């Protein structure tokens, strides 16, 4: 209560109480909602995702690409997603059942071999330059940097499966295509994407370019059934992509500029740098001198080489340049900023820096588990929105082409399209501890061999079949195996019992 309130309360308690009650009712219940001095310059507005992103989308994408090209810090954030989410690509497991409900091994093997052949660059890419795993790697990179990427399904007469993919960048969407619903067509176009009344994409308008990359001024409409648009969608009202680097760009740029400033400072300290001051600078006479001069100051341009002796003119003095401060705090600053930049993308400091000097086994494992959860979310997204869509189109095209001779396919479509994906796995931090934990988990029925193999990017069926072949070969060569070792231990135990 201030002095005025006290005076008013002394004269008229009722008036003073009313004044205090009204002041309390006007108080902000959230400090973050206050418009007082600390938040006076914080001007935020509520708007749809399209209104928020539209005017900043292109410049953010351009800056993110610039960091991708020139910043090692930015690349250190992007690369973990490409390596751990995609790696060598998602591996197909056909799970077709026969009429008796048993695994149709022959057909599954045929489908997997045909898929493996189609995934080669000459078959899956319309340009013949990238295999399907490389397409997945590019998709993950472009989602993080550009905010999205588009795949167009194309149908050709090349190969055993007349189906290929064409990759298109988000820049190719014609943002000049904007229209309101018409009388005949109720669809509207927003930044190159045609939407129905439920905001569902029904068509994409792509710019047409010449072979050397110049825009012709024309656009081509492609039906949404042929387009796979991968984007990091975070709001219901979001129509176009926005780079997920938006929240990290300024911090990465600060790190780069700080590191460059420290580098320049250290280079100066490693050399003898001096300024020569003329107490009474004058002209060197008429005509052009032998040494070049700075046009503004008239001073000669001089450099210092190791072991050089230079005589100065009368009236000149030398001042050595020695930048103050130390660079010992540079590591702490860069480490903190890099930690924040990585956490903004869902990664730990160790994942984006490869610096393991500050962790032990427990903290390293905890950080790895959190990073793996981030990777698993993106793996699920890539599988659901890209791999399954592409595989379904591949399978149907192979059936229509006659490469897969399945007479009752259309009556049992879901049964024949059943499949799984094995994602790239991760290595163990401490193999002995991990193996013992897995053994106990399987023995106690708390986990399965399939889950354990999948976590390492392996097919448990292939692991068992391969292990069986190895044991059979060892048996033929007389080298023994696990079964022989167990039998020997049993024989030794029986003989020991008899002796006792």
pLDDT confidence of residue 486: 46
| Segment of 35-49, 127-141, 340-354, 365-379 carrying the highest mean pLDDT | 127-141
Residue 286 pLDDT > 50: no
Cβ neighbours of residue 34 closer than 8 Å, sequence gap 6 or more: 28
pLDDT confidence of residue 377: 94
Q: Minimum mean pLDDT among 64-78, 160-174, 277-291, 347-361: which range?
A: 277-291
pLDDT confidence of residue 435: 82
Residue 66 pLDDT > 90: yes
Of the pLDDT bands very low, low, confident and very high (cuts 50, 70, 90), residue 278 is: low
pLDDT confidence of residue 499: 47
Q: Are 124 and 135 in contact (CB under 8 A)?
A: yes
Place of tokens 């042929």: 226
pLDDT confidence of residue 289: 46
pLDDT confidence of residue 495: 46
pLDDT confidence of residue 326: 56
What Rg do the C-alpha atoms of the chain give, in angstroms?
34
Mean pLDDT, range 255-262, rounded to an integer: 88
In this predicted model, what pLDDT tens digit does every residue of 26-40 receive, in sequence order?
666 677 777 777 887
Structure tokens at 124: 């899956």
- Is pLDDT larger for residue 1 or for residue 111? 111
pLDDT confidence of residue 135: 97
- Is pLDDT larger for residue 177 or for residue 460? 177
pLDDT confidence of residue 233: 92
| Segment of 303-312, 319-328, 470-479 carrying the highest mean pLDDT | 470-479
Q: Minimum mean pLDDT among 21-35, 341-355, 384-398, 410-424: which range?
A: 21-35
Residue 189 pLDDT > 70: yes
Cβ neighbours of residue 32 closer than 8 Å, sequence gap 6 or more: 39
Cβ neighbours of residue 413 closer than 8 Å, sequence gap 6 or more: none
pLDDT confidence of residue 450: 80
CA distance 107 to 122: 24
Mean pLDDT, range 288-312, rounded to an integer: 56
Angle between helix axes 132-145 and 72-81 (nearest 10 degrees) is 130
CA distance 342 to 365: 17
CA distance 12 to 248: 57
In this predicted model, what pLDDT tens digit does every residue of 371-403 receive, in sequence order?
989 999 999 999 999 999 999 999 999 999 999
> Between the CA atoms of 35, 39, 45 and 46, what dihedral angle is there, to the nearest 10 degrees?
-80
pLDDT confidence of residue 304: 59
In this predicted model, what pLDDT tens digit does every residue of 119-165 receive, in sequence order?
999 999 999 999 999 999 999 999 999 999 999 999 988 778 999 99
Nearest one of 448, 451, 449, 454 to 425, comparing CA atoms: 454
Cβ neighbours of residue 299 closer than 8 Å, sequence gap 6 or more: 276, 278, 281, 293
pLDDT confidence of residue 73: 92
pLDDT confidence of residue 213: 81
pLDDT confidence of residue 137: 96
Of the pLDDT bands very low, low, confident and very high (cuts 50, 70, 90), residue 492 is: very low
Residue 110 pLDDT > 90: yes
Residue 491 pLDDT > 60: no
Of the pLDDT bands very low, low, confident and very high (cuts 50, 70, 90), residue 319 is: low
What is the average pLDDT value for the chain, to the nearest integer?
Answer: 83
The total number of residues shown for the chain amounts to 500
- Greatest alpha-carbon span in the chain: 119
Of the pLDDT bands very low, low, confident and very high (cuts 50, 70, 90), residue 290 is: very low
Residue 432 pLDDT > 70: yes
Q: Are 187 and 201 in contact (CB under 8 A)?
A: no
């Amino acid at each position: 209560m201030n002095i005025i309130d006290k005076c008013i309360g002394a004269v008229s308690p009722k008036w003073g109480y009313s004044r205090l009650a009204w002041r309390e009712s006007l108080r902000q219940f959230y400090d973050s909602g206050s418009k007082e001095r600390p938040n006076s310059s914080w001007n935020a507005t509520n708007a749809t995702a399209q209104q928020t992103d539209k005017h900043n989308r292109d410049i953010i994408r351009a800056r993110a690409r610039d960091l991708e090209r020139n910043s090692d810090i930015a690349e250190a954030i992007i690369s973990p997603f490409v390596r751990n989410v995609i790696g060598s690509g998602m591996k197909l497991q056909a799970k077709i059942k026969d009429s008796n409900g048993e695994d149709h091994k022959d057909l599954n093997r045929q489908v997997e071999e045909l898929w493996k052949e189609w995934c080669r660059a000459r078959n899956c890419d319309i340009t013949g330059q990238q295999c399907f795993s490389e397409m997945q790697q590019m998709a993950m990179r472009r989602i993080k940097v550009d905010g999205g990427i588009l795949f167009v399904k194309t149908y050709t007469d090349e190969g055993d499966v007349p189906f290929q993919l064409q990759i298109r960048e988000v820049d190719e969407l014609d943002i000049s295509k904007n229209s309101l619903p018409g009388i005949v067509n109720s669809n509207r176009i927003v930044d190159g994407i045609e939407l129905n009344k439920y905001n569902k994409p029904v068509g994409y308008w792509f710019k047409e370019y010449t072979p050397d990359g110049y825009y012709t001024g024309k656009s081509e409409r492609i039906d949404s059934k042929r387009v796979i648009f991968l984007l990091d969608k975070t709001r219901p009202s979001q129509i176009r992509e926005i780079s997920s680097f938006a929240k990290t760009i300024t911090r990465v740029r600060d790190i780069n500029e700080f590191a460059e400033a420290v580098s320049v400072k250290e280079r100066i300290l490693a050399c003898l740098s001096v300024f020569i001051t003329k107490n009474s600078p004058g002209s060197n006479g008429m005509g052009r001198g032998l040494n070049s001069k700075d046009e503004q100051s008239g001073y000669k341009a001089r450099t210092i080489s190791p072991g050089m002796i230079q005589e100065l003119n009368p009236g000149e003095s030398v001042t050595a340049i020695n930048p103050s401060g130390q660079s010992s705090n540079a590591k702490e600053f860069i480490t903190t900023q890099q930690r924040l930049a990585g956490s903004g993308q869902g990664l730990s400091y160790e994942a984006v820096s490869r610096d393991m000097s500050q962790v032990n086994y427990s903290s390293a494992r905890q950080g790895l588990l959190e990073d793996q959860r981030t990777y698993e979310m993106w793996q699920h997204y890539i599988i659901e929105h890209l791999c399954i869509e592409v595989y379904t189109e591949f399978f149907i095209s192979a059936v229509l082409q006659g490469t897969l001779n399945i007479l009752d396919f259309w009556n049992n479509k879901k049964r024949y399209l059943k499949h799984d994906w094995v994602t790239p796995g991760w290595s163990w931090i401490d193999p002995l501890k991990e193996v013992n934990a897995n053994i106990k988990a399987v023995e106690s029925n708390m986990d399965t061999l399939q889950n354990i193999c999948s976590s390492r990017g392996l097919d448990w069926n292939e692991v068992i079949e391969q292990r069986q072949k190895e044991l059979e070969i060892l048996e033929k060569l007389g080298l023994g195996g696990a079964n022989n070792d167990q039998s020997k231990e049993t024989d030794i135990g029986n003989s020991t019992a008899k002796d006792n």
